[in-house]
Amino acid sequence: MRRLSAAALPVLLGLLAAPAAAQPRKADEAFRFFAEEGRASTALRRVAPTQGSPVPVDVITAEEIAASGVVNLWDLLRFRVGLDVIEGRSSAGSNRAVVSVRGTPRDNSHELLVLLDGRSLYDPRSGVTLWEQIPVQLQDIERIEIARGPNAALYGSNAGLGVINILTRRPSGPLKARAAARAGTGRFGELSAAGESSGERGGLRLSATSRTQGGAPLAADPPAQGHDFLRDHTGNFRGWARVGEATIDLSAGIDKQDFGKTTGVKPQGRMTTNFQLARLERPLGPDSTLELRVSRNESLSSDFPDSAGRDTSSRFWQYDTEGLHTISWGDGRLVTTYGAAWRYAASGSNYLYGATSLRTNRTVRGFLHQTIQVTPTVSIMGGLNNETANAGGYHKDFQGAVLWAPVEEHAFRASYSRANIKPQILHRYADFNFDIGNGFMGGHLAGNSSLNPSPLTNYEAGWRGLFLDKALTFELTGFYTEIRDHINLDQTSGPNVFNMTYDNTNTVILRGLEAAMRWRAGPGRSLYSNYTQETVRDQDGHAIYLNTTPRHKVNLGFDWALPLDLRASMNAGWKDAYKADSTSGAAQEDVPAFWRVDARVSWSPSAWLELFLAGQNLERPYRREYVDNLLVPRRIQGGAVVRW
């Protein structure tokens, strides 16, 4: 690492010294990114300055996504403050990453709500997000908004520790298209294409991606290739139309995957996911907006062969409707947002639920949020959510916050929130046997129909300051979170080797500090660094909570436009030692502290062509991150992007 730092220092100094003429500094372009990062819609359910949000908000722009060189969606989150990303395969084989915010990373984490254009992405069976199965392509993402901290007053359950909203590109402008091809180590290959066109009354965008990659190396000496191969095909549609004063957005997507699993009999899995979404937005006046959203999603999965001759296929589907009204009144000093939502979720499987093959959950909720500008420098916010579900029970969520901006470009905030994490279908109704290795039947998982929602209480305070004409941003946040009646998977006595059931008798306490800095020197020129410190206490002493959260994380990097139409980016992250653990297996693995370095360099000889070379995990050939007996390898890939 010392050799890497010594080599990187003169390169970084050279980048800083590069002439500003490498990219023209036009007034209308130079600070475009300030508008992109300075406003977000996730924290308040309406577009508003991030400086006035009740929770800290981080924004990943399309420019940053293109410059990152990542292959996987979750790698866009790896170097962000307050987040923890682990690349690993659950024993079920249906998830390839663990993403958490503010501690307790595990493969069945259901305290983080992930949205795609406002539509919930969590699996209604278990409440988790299956990151590999999200039917969206990197080329379609316009921005990602990360709201850290409870936001259940507006979004309901599963938003206890944060909300990540993935927003896709809305077609705009005349006909244009894009095609890309890239290939790399580990038998990786990808082809993608997209085209769009729009006018004054509507627009249309179509896109598709096909990707293949080989298995990760096994943790053996020497490392052999694992069985976790992937073949993935994704297609998306997005269109919009203006009808009178209303705007209608339509979107749909499908993702089809074949993938290998890591269990002893080396089965293969198959999953197909699709969704449809319709959204209507209509102004009811100069300061009033109505929004209606209807969506449907479905997932079909199957495994073959199964070591015990069981049919482990499953299907789940979900329907959502939501309406909300935002109105500004009192000369803009008061803003009210209120609405209601209904959800029907169903999960069918002869394997997961024993004799009863179909389980359902209906959820109804209503919410209200109010912002009041008391003085020119002081604002208060409050929100309330009432929610009931036949599988998750009844609960109330609320939030209160005070914001104080004593001088321009500096804001202090303090908030108190109460959120609930409700049980999902699997938590209540599971009834199936599972293998514990080498095809040996040795475990049984049983649901618990008496589970209650887990109340989460959060206190936090923060400051955000802008300097140098908003080019330099600093942010500090401290938080204390207590989760009572936390849902755990515990071992019980019985005839099998492992008899597991869910309970919620535990209490988990999270404490932490988040610090971030970003300097935008100009178009295509930025530096950042951030630091996260987290500690976890657990009443019942579960190792999966106490030891899986790294105590310290540090990230830093740059994205810099160079002369001769070159551009370079680098992201480096250091993570403290932690214990890799899983709720779907008994193994544990001590992972020592490590650095990860990703980098990308590109050359754009013309406006229609870009050539690039990118690498991940550049500091070492292999690294262990999880308990799946797989290693994260060094990856090198290159390719070309053509636009017209």
Q: What is the 3-state secondary structure (H, E, C) of 295-346?
A: EEEEEEEEEECCCCCCCCCEEEEEEEEEEEEEEEECCCCEEEEEEEEEEEEE
Does a structural domain hold residue 338?
A: no
Instruction: Please give the Cα distance from 532 to 538 (Å, whole number).
Output: 20
The number of folded domains in the chain is 1
Q: Which domain holds residue 141?
A: 2-324+395-643
Cα 98 to chain centroid, rounded:
10
Asked if 292 and 322 touch (Cβ cutoff 8 Å), the reply is: yes
Residues of the chain with pLDDT under 70: 1-37, 91-94, 263-265, 305-309, 435-442, 494-497, 543, 583-586
479-522, pLDDT tens digit by residue? 999 999 988 888 777 666 678 888 888 899 999 999 999 999 88
Asked if 421 and 344 touch (Cβ cutoff 8 Å), the reply is: no
Asked if 181 and 449 touch (Cβ cutoff 8 Å), the reply is: no
CA 404-407-412 angle, 5° bins? 30
Does a structural domain hold residue 388?
A: no
Does a structural domain hold residue 22?
A: yes
Of the chain, the percentage scoring pLDDT greater than 70 comes to 89
Instruction: Please give the Cα distance from 15 to 522 (Å, whole number).
Output: 13
Cα 308 to chain centroid, rounded:
35
pTM of the model: 0.92
Does a structural domain hold residue 279?
A: yes
CA 51-54-55 angle, 5° bins? 90
> Which backbone phi and psi does 50 adopt, to 5 degrees?
-65, -25
pLDDT value at residue 439: 47
Name which of 597, 608, 599 is nearest 640 in CA terms: 608
pLDDT value at residue 306: 61
Does a structural domain hold residue 10?
A: yes
Does a structural domain hold residue 390?
A: no
Cα dihedral sign, 103-624-305-307: negative
What is the full DSSP assignment across 90-144? Answer: -TTSS--EEEEESS---TT--SEEEEETTEE-S-TTTS---GGG----GGGEEEE
Cα 402 to chain centroid, rounded:
27
pLDDT value at residue 275: 96
Name which of 196, 200, 284 is nearest 246 in CA terms: 284
**pLDDT averaged over every residue in the chain:** 87
Between strands 609-616 and 635-643, the pairing is antiparallel
Does a structural domain hold residue 343?
A: no
Which are the contacts of 45, defined by CB distance < 8 A and separation ≥ 6?
Answer: 154, 324, 326, 337, 369
Which tokens is 479 given?
Answer: 């938080």
Does a structural domain hold residue 361?
A: no
Q: CATH number for the domain including 194?
A: 2.40.170.20
pLDDT value at residue 265: 66
109-154, pLDDT tens digit by residue? 788 999 999 999 988 888 888 888 899 999 999 999 999 999 999 9
Which tokens is 121 given?
Answer: 């992405």
Q: How far apart are the first and last CA of the chain?
A: 42
Amino acid at 57: V
Instruction: Please give the Cα distance from 511 to 161 (Å, whole number).
Output: 12
Burial class (CB in 10 A: 0-12, 13-18, 19+), 582: buried
Q: Please report, for residues 218, 228, 260, 607, 631, the alpha-carbon distance to residue 223 in angstroms, rounded to integers and kept in the order given.
A: 5, 14, 18, 43, 8
